């Protein structure tokens, strides 16, 4: 029970990595806010957690909307008294669109969800964390935030920005007892591919150029175990960095 007594907010938690993190956190004793655009699916995760003896609440939230972010964190405090761990997992892909074909609309949408959303949730929890001189933030970045062509231009830039945000927050707030780290997954079996609608042929060909070097695809539960470590006191000396979980894909 490494998270006993902790309150965790997880975005994009109705499926995939977010769901796996929510379920593992609950199994380890955390009270979990399961946040997602799809509140019915989030409630199904809550039901599974409760059936296993855990505690969770579903909250509908679009992290691209400031009012939803405010309500999300406020609900966590109203339900459980505080927030101890924030996991920014919500994200979308960008159809592998290269820079030459990129529209303002796609750029803005990808950044709104993948980068501005985490900034807003972080901004909202920091007063809570600074007041009690403790708190953990975990951002789900991507191998695409470390390498140049694992996706299109917007996703790549947005996830690089998440890495920079992680390092900035981690260092600047370290004296206040706050840790901020990121996880950079490689290929993982999730439904983020459903946000791909009409992949750009050129961009996809370039992004997939190194896919044969990928040792294997991971499972959401494998990323959840990394998130458990980072969220627990076991990672008390780990701050402002990125943990890559990709079976060695980016090591080549």
Q: pLDDT (tens digit, 9 = 90+) per residue, 188-231?
A: 998 777 778 889 999 999 999 999 999 999 999 999 999 999 99
Q: Is residue 79 part of a domain?
A: yes
Q: Is residue 84 part of a domain?
A: yes
Average pLDDT over residues 7-27: 98
The reported pLDDT for the residue numbered 194 is 74
Q: Is residue 1 part of a domain?
A: no
Please report, for the domain that includes residue 95, its CATH number.
3.40.50.720
Higher pLDDT, 147 or 192: 147
**CB-CB contact of 161 with 169 (8 Å):** no
Domains identified in the chain, total number? 1
Q: In what order do the strands lie in the sheet with 178-185?
A: 55-60, 31-36, 7-10, 85-88, 135-140, 178-185, 242-245
The reported pLDDT for the residue numbered 86 is 99
252 is catalytic: no
The reported pLDDT for the residue numbered 96 is 97
Domain that holds residue 97: 7-251
Marked catalytic residue, from 25, 155, 173, 252: 155
What is the rounded CA–CA span in Å between residue 147 and residue 8?
30
| H or E stretch covering 159 | helix 153-172
Q: Is residue 203 part of a domain?
A: yes
What is the rounded CA–CA span in Å between residue 225 and residue 235?
12
Residue with tokens 């706050």, as numbered in its chain: 178
pTM value surpassing 0.95: yes
H helix count then E strand count, the chain: 8, 7
Average pLDDT over residues 11-22: 98
């Amino acid at each position: 029970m490494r998270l006993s007594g902790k309150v965790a907010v997880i975005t994009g938690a109705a499926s995939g990595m977010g769901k796996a993190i929510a379920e593992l956190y609950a199994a380890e004793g955390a009270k979990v806010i399961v946040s997602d655009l799809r509140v019915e699916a989030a409630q199904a995760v809550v039901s599974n957690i409760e059936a296993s003896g855990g505690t969770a609440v579903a909250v509908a939230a679009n992290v691209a909307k400031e009012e939803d972010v405010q309500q999300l964190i406020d609900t966590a405090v109203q339900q459980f008294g505080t927030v101890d761990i924030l996991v920014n997992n919500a994200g979308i892909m960008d159809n592998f669109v290269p820079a030459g074909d990129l529209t303002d609309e796609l750029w803005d949408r990808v950044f709104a969800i993948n980068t501005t959303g985490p900034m807003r949730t972080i901004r909202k929890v920091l007063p809570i964390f600074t007041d009690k001189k403790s708190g953990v933030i975990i951002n789900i970045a991507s191998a695409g935030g470390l390498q140049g062509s694992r996706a299109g231009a917007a996703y790549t830039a947005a996830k690089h920005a998440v890495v920079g945000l992680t390092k900035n927050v981690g260092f600047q707030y370290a004296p206040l007892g706050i840790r901020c780290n990121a996880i950079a997954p490689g290929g993982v079996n999730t439904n983020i591919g459903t946000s791909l609608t009409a992949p750009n042929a050129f961009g996809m060909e370039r992004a997939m150029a190194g896919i044969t070097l990928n040792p294997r695809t991971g499972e959401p539960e494998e990323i959840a175990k990394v998130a458990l470590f980072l969220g627990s006191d076991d990672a008390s000396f780990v701050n402002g960095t990125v943990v890559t979980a990709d079976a060695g894909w980016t090591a080549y």
